Amino acid sequence: MNMQNHQSPESSLLPEVPKQQLPNLPQELIVDILTRLPIKSLLKFRCVSKTWLSLISSPHFIKSHLMNSTKSNNHAHHSLLLAPIDAPTELYTCSLYSVLYEKSPVNAFKIQLPWQSMYPRLSFVGCCNGMFCLSEGHDNLILLNPSTRKYKILPNSGVDLRKFRYLTYGFGYDESNDDYKVVEVGCFCRYGMNYQTVVNIYSLRTNSWRRIQDYQGGFISSCSGVFVNGAIHWLVVSRDGSSFSWGVVSLNLATENYGEIIQPNYGKGNFDLSLGVLEGCLCVFCNHYEIQLDVWVMKEYGVKESWTKLVNIPYSASFKGRALPLFVSETGEVLLKHDYCLMLYNRTDNVFMNLDIRMLGANLTGVASTYIESMVSPQL
């Protein structure tokens, strides 16, 4: 008997099932689906075919994916980048969603840096479109996409560090020229409060530095600049007779012109200021010493009347000293970098909650920043 041709009575009664073919999806629909996927999936899908590799690596696709990630309101494409103080040359990352909404502890994963660090500490210059500018030492700058691990070590600007009291930087995107830029400000003191600056700007597209017009309006803060609305912003201190005042200067990356941001009324008393970005808006964090931290947000860029006090955080036994707001959730909770830890502040209940973020041996958070996961490459 030929066993291969033998069929049981039951099997002969079964209907023949036609073979199903995979649907031939339109290219536009495939692209739309891919632009909504997380970075980890896209990195794997580049291996599907040469066509998909070319598609996912194209500038148009990268911009579309970034736009969808930015518009997403469930924080699925948002992460935290952490630099621990007790492991200063290491970087860790974790999901922002897990920090905000999942139970502690949250595991942060170490990023295997693709370069050999020669300096004792990493610091953050700024973040734009998922790409970070980091500094090692005083003048060694690196562009890094923590999602793709692609990086670029920038050439030296050529400034003589011995001439300056300090250097400060800013990092942002020039949309009109599709170019990422780093601004270097060297400040030195001639006498008294008569400070002079030397300003250089780096273009990723040309991979070169050049000097631009110096800023003459005051003493630029040593803190890194903040990028909002096509411009980098720094705090400045100026002198009017015997008194000193705070100011906010902007440098437009496309026109390379300086401007001034009119500030809100911070109230009376002694305080200091720092700049930040929340909800895509320029922010001023006003620290009234040991009393409260006010978070001011400019809802409409350049419009003085749009300054809004987003939150007032009172100091308490569990919350003292300087703090940096990193994110505000839809429910109004504020994610804070406070001393060497992260905490959530519920402004409705006026409750602080310390977050347990585990960094595989490192314990103290030195620097933290939120970012959008993207395919943006530091090597255009």
Model pLDDT for residues 110-122, shown as the tens digit of each residue: 998 888 777 777 8
Task: Identify the CA nearest to 337 among candidates 315, 358, 321.
Answer: 321
**Calpha distance 308→321 (Å, rounded):** 23
Interval 117-141: pLDDT, tens: 777 778 899 999 999 999 987 678 9
As a dihedral over the C-alpha atoms of residue 68, residue 73, residue 75, residue 81, rounded to 10 degrees, the angle is 70
Residue ranges of the chain whose pLDDT lies below 50: 1-4, 8-12
Question: Is the entire prediction scored with pTM above 0.85?
Answer: yes
Task: Identify the CA nearest to 332 among candidates 311, 314, 309.
Answer: 311
pLDDT number for residue 21? 57
Burial class (CB in 10 A: 0-12, 13-18, 19+), 359: buried
**Calpha distance 314→351 (Å, rounded):** 10
In the chain the first and final C-alpha atoms are separated, in Å, by 69
pLDDT number for residue 23? 64
Q: What angle do CA 215, 217, 218 make, to 5 degrees?
A: 100
**Calpha distance 123→12 (Å, rounded):** 72
pLDDT number for residue 380? 57
